[in-house]
Amino acid sequence: MLEPASVMRDAGMQPDAWQEAVLNSDSRRMLLLCSRQSGKSTTCASLAVHQALYDPGLVLLIAPAQRQSSELFRKVREVYTALPDVPRIVQESALRMELANGSRIIALPGTEGTIRGYSGARTVIIDEASRVDDALFAAVRPMLATTQGRFVALTTPYGKRGWFYESWEHGEGWRRTKITAHDCPRIDPEWLAEERRLIGDWQYRQEYMCEFVDTDEQFFASDLIEAALCHEVAPLWS
């Protein structure tokens, strides 16, 4: 059996140290908080392929919108077709492929209803996870319980809210990986400085420095709201 990081190598890429560590980890619960363009989708595409090759079953790729999960699926397909001597693809479309060994890899939109139709997934990968609804996360968890399945959420931050933020900050049992743009050898520091000028400091911190900055939609900063709350006062109506 090929080690998971070798799947990426055989597909023609030398994994970064963190990519290798994530791929070869046997953790069943992983959170990847990574800069844009750091290579998180590529890593998870290789992970999906390894799963489908060596532990045949269902692999689900989920993202807030179908367009995003099909983008991840495209990467899975790229990795798969770059590998020599793999099982035949017996059926495929822009959103799914089925292998001769019985594995299925399916890209879904991040709507709770669609997910409920699938059970017994071996691996669930959620891209752009900070932007996926809490209801979806709740729907995915029981699905994994029966198969001891693996769950990987990858994303840039999106404000101090939602299950990804909560799990990253307070959750137990997660393997966490944080990779800023400075940690990625393929992101040129000069290009990054220019990008910072273009998009502004707030967005730069979110997209490239992996900071959970407050969202641009909220009127009050999270710290202010937090400071205004008090647990000693009983609610007027229960």
Ligand X SMILES: Nc1ncnc2c1ncn2[C@@H]1O[C@H](COP(=O)(O)OP(=O)(O)O)[C@@H](O)[C@H]1O
Residues that bind Mg ion in the complex, under the rule CB under 5 A: 41
Q: Does 37 bind ligand X (CB under 6 A)?
A: yes
Pick 35 or 167: Cβ nearer Mg ion:
35
Residue choice 4, 5, 11, 15 for contact with ligand X (CB under 6 A): 15
Q: Which residues pair with 178 in a beta bridge?
A: 33
Q: Is 19 in the site for ligand X (CB under 6 A)?
A: yes
In sequence order, the 6+-apart residues with CB closer than 8 A to the CB of 88 are: 99, 100
Q: Which residues contact 165 (CB under 8 A, 6 or more apart)?
A: 130, 157, 158, 159, 212
Closest distance of CB 59 from ligand X, Å: 17
Looking at beta carbons only, is 156 or 167 nearer to ligand X?
156
Which burial class, exposed, middle or buried, applies to 173 when counting CB atoms under 10 A from its CB (0-12, 13-18, 19+)? Answer: exposed
Nearer to ligand X, 92 or 183 (CB): 183
What track of x and - describes contact with ligand X for positions 69 through 88 (by CB under 6 A)?
--------------------
Q: Are 122 and 150 in contact (CB under 8 A)?
A: yes
Residue 167 binds what, of Mg ion, ligand X, none (CB under 5 to 8 Å, by partner type)?
none
- The option from ligand X, Mg ion, none interacting with 64 (CB < 5 to 8 A, set by class) reads none
Asked if 114 and 64 count as a contact pair (C-beta separation under 8 A), the reply is no
Least gap, CB of 220 to ligand X (angstroms): 31
Q: Which is nearer to ligand X, 33 or 99 (CB)?
A: 33
- Per-residue mark of binding to ligand X, 40-59 (x: CB under 6 A): xxx-----------------
Among 14, 216, 228, 237, binds ligand X (CB under 6 A): 14
CB of 22 to Mg ion, least distance (A): 14
> Are 206 and 128 within 8 A, CB to CB?
no
195's tokens: 């990008």
Q: Which is nearer to ligand X, 25 or 37 (CB)?
A: 37
Q: Return the H-helix or E-strand segment holding 198.
A: helix 189-199
* Contact map string, positions 198 to 217, toward ligand X, x by CB under 6 A: --------------------
Q: Report the Cα 36 to chain-centroid distance in Å.
A: 12
The phi, psi pair for 231, rounded to 5°, reads -95, -5
CB of 42 to ligand X, least distance (A): 3
d(CA 45, CA 81): 12
Q: Which spans in 83-188 are helix H? A: 112-116, 134-145, 162-170
Binding region for ligand X (CB under 6 A)? 13-16, 19, 34, 36-42, 186
